[in-house]
Amino acid sequence: MSEGYAVRNLGVRIGDQLIVDDVSFTLAPGEVFALAGASGAGKSMSAMTPFGLSAGVASGSAMLDGIELVGLSEHELSRIRAEKIGFVFQQPLTALTPHRTVRQHLQEAAMQAGGAKPDKAAMVVMLEAVGLSRPDERLAQYPHRLSGGERQRVLIAAALAHGPRYLVADEPVSALDAALRGEIMALLVRLCRERGMAMLLVSHDLAGIEHHADRLLLLESGRVAEAGPAPQIATLPATDYGKRLMAATPRLTEPLPSLPETGEVLLEVEAAHIHFPKPGWRRGRIDAVVDASLTLAKGETLALVGGSGSGKSTLGRAIAGLGPMASGIVRWQGETLPPRQRRNAGHRRLIQPVFQDPLASLDPRWNVADIILEPVRWLVPEDDQHERAKDLLEEVGLPRDFASRKPASLSGGQAQRVAIARALSADPEMLLLDEATSALDPLVADGVVALFGRLQRERGLSLLFITHDLALARRAAHRIAVMEAGRIVECAAREELFANPQAEATRRLIAASG
């Protein structure tokens, strides 16, 4: 019986559609193998279908330790999964059952292949192995008490509880904060090395896996684009697709691209404080933003970088008059902008937002032309609106006949371009980009970032670029402000920030992004 996992000519169908075609790879014991590619390339389908964990039907061959998986019944597959394989999924919250404690999760996981019920000491060891602090307290906790990173550690502990020989990790860090991604990925790889486990890793983030995977397979629309040692493919891809994917993934090591000249200062924010009442009946408040000051010049891009919960979106929305601000001053060319409720059309026109989730930011019942023209209706009344909607579609790189479409018929990237066209229709001076590319596929996101650059050059726009991705900020922004726990801890030109980081938070972010 041969050890290892060998996939040969794997095909996956859903209905009549061939999702994955002719994919082959092998996974030796103790190896970390990554399946990468843009979304819809069939990465997860290739990884999950042989184990019976997708809607697809597999053809070809997938041999696990000498057992052919393709064609096995659900019952037999379930036994093999329980005995040999641990799974780690993307969404750490939904992958844990809310009403069960960490202890119950670990017990269930350990006993799935008929193992003995683990005692407390054994479970503490499991949690220590995944680097969870205070493991004995954690056992009694429910998932909602844990942070995203902690949940993912519990999931990993549960995936390993029955001592599997293989680990299948489907985008294990994509839902986590940037600062945590490298750490969790390193943990997974270390656990594999220590235990001689093999890991099949699925990821869209090439920069995130190039240092962790041994070998890499790039998928393009369900077919193998190229395969080989991970560092080689990640740095010197042979195919055009690989090159595009590489170029679309920002890295701290890449040369700094040039950015347009900037003009005089437009926006000044002074000592902004924002707080919210605590939820429920408790008294007290949560300080979301504390004493934040920043400036933005004409034609300049300022990136606001920080982990989730650092207050960067809250600050951005307050500046645009879309959220509360307790105290502080927002000035536009020296003139103070009034608070949210008293901003008039003239104020609103200046700063237009683009949000993270492109489909949720378009009213599903409106057509594209109406969506694009909404600001025109209230802010800059004029004639011949329909032509204007089509001109804007063209400006953001969409066909003119998209005007009559409904949002549901758009892809994520197209929907985001429509949202950008809507922002442009107000003829703004500044765009607030609130994680505007982080919900998009790397190739699509790269196109949208390039669009922002072009719009900035052509229209002289100022951009407030809110992101968790430091490498992206380095690529796109003149200056970078780092936020942590509601404070702007450092703000500097990009060259300076990386050459000479001042704040502890900045150094940590740089380390995590490298």
Partner 1 sequence: MKPALFLVALIALVALLVPPLLPYDHISIDWDSVRVGLFSDGHLLGTDDLGRDRLARLLVGTRVTLSVALAAALVALVIGVAWGAIAGWVGGRVDEAMMRIVDGLYALPFMFVVILLMVVFGRSILLVFLGIGFVEWLTMARVVRGQVIALKQRPFILAAEAAGSPARATLWRHILPNVAGVAVAYLMLTVPHVVMIESFLSFLGLGVQEPLTSLGILVNEGAEEMDMNPAALLLPGGVLVLLIASLTVAGERFRDRLADAAK
Closest distance to partner 1 from the beta carbon of 370 (Å): 9
Closest distance to partner 1 from the beta carbon of 162 (Å): 35
| Cβ nearer to partner 1, comparing 114 with 284 | 284
How many whole angstroms separate alpha carbon 177 and alpha carbon 157? 19
Could you tell me if residue 384 is left (phi over 0), alpha (psi between -120 and 50 degrees) or otherwise beta? left
Q: Which residues bind partner 1 (CB under 8 A)?
A: 317, 320-322, 345, 348-349, 351-353, 355-357, 360-365, 374-375, 377-379, 408, 419, 422-423, 426
Closest distance to partner 1 from the beta carbon of 378 (Å): 3
Closest distance to partner 1 from the beta carbon of 364 (Å): 7
| Cβ nearer to partner 1, comparing 46 with 437 | 437
Closest distance to partner 1 from the beta carbon of 281 (Å): 11
198: phi then psi, degrees, rounded to nearest 5: -100, 145
Closest distance to partner 1 from the beta carbon of 368 (Å): 13
| Cβ nearer to partner 1, comparing 109 with 289 | 289
Query: Which strands sit side by side in the sheet containing 57-64, from one edge to the other?
Result: 17-27, 5-14, 57-64, 67-68
* Residue indicated by tokens 């780690």: 88
Contacts of 117 (CB under 8 A, 6+ apart): 107, 110, 111
Cβ contact 396:454 at 8 Å: no
Cβ contact 41:441 at 8 Å: no
Q: Which of 293, 292, 295, 291 is nearest to 267 (CA)?
A: 295
How many whole angstroms separate alpha carbon 92 and alpha carbon 135? 18
Q: Return the SS3 of 57.
A: strand
| Cβ nearer to partner 1, comparing 419 with 480 | 419
Closest distance to partner 1 from the beta carbon of 279 (Å): 13
82, with CB counted inside 10 A (0-12, 13-18, 19+), is middle
| Cβ nearer to partner 1, comparing 291 with 357 | 357
| Cβ nearer to partner 1, comparing 186 with 408 | 408
Closest distance to partner 1 from the beta carbon of 509 (Å): 26
| Cβ nearer to partner 1, comparing 189 with 362 | 362
347, with CB counted inside 10 A (0-12, 13-18, 19+), is middle
Closest distance to partner 1 from the beta carbon of 180 (Å): 25
Closest distance to partner 1 from the beta carbon of 30 (Å): 41
| Cβ nearer to partner 1, comparing 313 with 506 | 313
Q: Which of 88, 83, 104, 81 is nearest to 153 (CA)?
A: 88
| Cβ nearer to partner 1, comparing 181 with 422 | 422
Tokens found for residue 327 = 């105290």
Cβ contact 152:172 at 8 Å: yes
| Cβ nearer to partner 1, comparing 348 with 479 | 348
Distance of CA 511 to the CA centre of its chain: 18
| Cβ nearer to partner 1, comparing 98 with 364 | 364
How many whole angstroms separate alpha carbon 305 and alpha carbon 433? 12
Distance of CA 512 to the CA centre of its chain: 15
| Cβ nearer to partner 1, comparing 378 with 495 | 378
156: phi then psi, degrees, rounded to nearest 5: -65, -45
DSSP-based helix, strand, coil % in the chain, nearest 5: 40, 25, 35
Closest distance to partner 1 from the beta carbon of 313 (Å): 11
20: phi then psi, degrees, rounded to nearest 5: -130, 135
Closest distance to partner 1 from the beta carbon of 258 (Å): 31
Q: Quick one: DSSP state of residue 321?
A: T
The DSSP code sequence of 189-250 is: HHHHHHHT-EEEEEES-HHHHTTT-SEEEEEETTEEEEEEEHHHHHHS--SHHHHHHHHHS-
